[in-house]
Amino acid sequence: MKNILVTGGAGYIGSHVIVRLHEEGYNPIILDDFSNSEKSVLNGLHKITGKNFKLYEGDILNRSLFDQIFNENRIDGVIHFAAKKAVGESVEKPLLYYKNNVSGLVSLLEAMVEHQVPNLVFSSSCTVYGQPDTLPVTEESPTKPANSPYGNTKQIGEEIIRDVVDAKVGLKSIALRYFNPIGAHPSSEIGELPLGVPSNLVPFITQTAAGQRDSLTVFGSNYDTPDGTCIRDYIHVMDLADAHVQSLKHLDSIEDLSHYDFVNIGTGIGSTVLEVIESFEKSSGESLNYSLGPRRPGDVEEIYAQVDKSIILLEWKTKHSLDDALRDSWNWQKKLSGI
Ligand code: NAD
Ligand code: WQD
């Protein structure tokens, strides 16, 4: 059984990937400092899988912890989720983001090279494209100057990995440029646990419907889109999880020990904010209290993925609809809120 180290494995995306790795016959090992997750996720994972996965509680900045993990386990690959991800916070505290997301990645890469761990899947983001010139956005589209330190850490992260791979040190890697992950495991045992007031659309919608927030503000209604609201590519977290399993299989199949690639991970379908609200109301049966408000600074107008590369390279495409994802987000919220 292949051991896969999952940094940030207790987080939103990481926890869903742990489930899929287990189901696909891998042995996931979690490294997390619980700075943005709760131990309760381990109970959720146990309820779904019946397993207690090996856990290292600690910081990716702690280089000797990686040495310990790689000495104690024969690790076949790493999926690197651990990072800070709040765009607004990154503007206020850029050094925190460069330290955690960039220095943390360097710490991991040093250890992987030293211990000859060959395969790395990196969590990147569609934020590297900014507002693309043509849609759907392909992997050939140029990256744009990042509009936040967070976005810059993803661009820099991709470049660092590419340089390390190019140095032919025995590392193969793929960077997955996620579009907008939403949804939860269909069991409602794990899901997203935003700390404080959510800045992302779907947790804000579900918390509003659950009565935790008074009303949702739609940020901008005069964009050049069919209904005036921004367009994004919302992907079910279970589909996203599958993409990681496929990425590991892909890396394993490649003999070239200096292989680097990057791929869009989205549905290929753009949805407006009002379409997301409509889909939520349909799949939940709830009516949402919302109003149209001013634009949010820094938002891109429209972005959705060209998905051909993921289909060809990873033999992967999404299976879930927007309605499925919002139904699962709502069921998870109801469980959290005791509804
Ligand atoms: P998350 O915050 O839920 O999960 C990240 C996990 O990493 C958390 O459990 C946190 O405790 C842990 N962590 C953070 N810093 C750490 C450190 N220094 N040492 C050890 N553990 C640490 O976030 P997520 O939504 O699951 O995102 C996972 C990855 O995907 C991140 O790299 C994020 O930037 C990227 N990403 C997320 C989105 C999104 O919208 N959720 C979109 C694109 C890319
Ligand atoms: C989606 C749409 C908002 C909240 C962010 C990061 C990006 C990536 C994914 C990590 C936008 C609108 C939102 C609200 C609203 N993360 N909205 N009212 O901005 O696409 O991307 O998460 O890599 O880097 O920037 O996602 O969920 O914040 O917003 O109208 O209360 O919903 O304006 O059009 P976004 P989001």
Pocket lining: 201 vs ligand 2, CB cutoff 6 Å: yes
* Span from the CA of 291 to the centroid of ligand 1 (angstroms): 30
Do 160 and 43 share a structural domain? yes
Is the separation of the CB atoms in 307 and 268 below 8 Å?
Answer: yes
Atom in ligand 2 nearest the alpha carbon of residue 273 = 32
In a domain? residue 171: yes
Report whether residue 230 contacts ligand 2, using a CB cutoff of 6 Å. yes
Residue 142: CB partners within 8 Å, gap ≥ 6? none
Q: Would you say the CB of residue 34 lies under 6 angstroms from ligand 2?
A: no
- At residue 257, the pLDDT reads 87
Q: Is 102 in the pocket of ligand 2 (CB under 6 A)?
A: no
Confidence tier at 64 by pLDDT (50, 70, 90): very high
281 and 222 in one domain? yes
Q: Which of 160, 128, 161 is nearest to 147 (CA)?
A: 128
Span 261-319, pLDDT tens digits: 999 999 999 999 999 999 999 999 999 999 999 999 999 999 999 999 999 999 999 99
Tell me the CA–centroid distance for residue 260 and ligand 2, in Å: 28
Residue 186 lies in a domain: no
Q: What is the mean pLDDT of residues 118-147?
A: 95
Q: What is the CATH number of the domain that holds 149?
A: 3.40.50.720
Q: Is there a single domain that holds both residue 115 and residue 176?
A: yes
Nearest CA, atom 2, ligand 2: 201
52 and 79 together in one domain: yes
**CB 123 less than 6 A from any atom of ligand 1:** yes
What CA–CA distances, in Å, run from 68 to 64, 71, 72, 116, 174? Answer: 6, 5, 6, 14, 25
pLDDT of residue 81: 99
Are residue 68 and residue 145 in the same domain, yes or no? yes
Least distant ligand from the CA of 294: 2
Range of the structural domain that residue 141 is part of: 3-181+236-265
- Cross-strand pairs, 55: 30
pLDDT one-digit tens code per residue, 38-50:
999 999 999 999 9
Atom of ligand 2 nearest to the CA of 231: 34
Give the pLDDT confidence score for residue 222 in this predicted structure. Answer: 98
User: How many CB atoms neighbour CB 97 within 10 A?
Assistant: 24
User: Which atom of ligand 2 is closest in space to residue 154's alpha carbon?
Assistant: 23
Lowest average pLDDT, out of 27-31, 95-99, 249-253, 254-258, goes to: 254-258
Catalytic residue among 12, 56, 98, 150: 150
Return the ligand number nearest the Cα of 151: 2
Tell me: pLDDT of 195 over 90: no
**Considering every ligand atom, which ligand is closest to the CA of 97?**
1
**188 found inside a domain:** no
Residues 246, 285, single domain; the answer is no
Instruction: Work out the number of other CB atoms within 10 angstroms of the CB of residue 321.
Output: 15
Q: Are residues 168 and 218 in the same domain?
A: no
Task: Name the residue at shortest CA distance from atom 24 of ligand 2.
Answer: 127
Percent of the chain with pLDDT over 70: 100
Ligand 2 test: best mutation among 153, 206, 232, most atoms within 8 Å of CB? 232
150 labelled catalytic: yes
CATH assignment at residue 290: 3.90.25.10
Residues 205 and 126 in one domain: no
In degrees rounded to 5, what are phi and psi of residue 80? Answer: -105, 95
In a shared domain, residues 108 and 154: yes
pTM above 0.95, yes or no: yes
- Residue 325 and residue 285 in one domain: yes
> Are residues 123 and 253 both part of a single domain?
yes
Ligand number with the minimum distance to the CA of 225: 2
Q: Is 35 a pocket residue for ligand 1 (Cβ < 6 Å)?
A: yes
Q: Is the CB of 273 under 6 A from ligand 2?
A: yes
Mutate to test the pocket of ligand 2, among 219, 233, 280 (most ligand atoms within 8 A of CB): 219
User: Which ligand 1 atom is the nearest neighbour of the CA of 58?
Assistant: 20
The count of domains in the chain is: 2
Cα distance between residue 173 and residue 5, in whole Å? 14
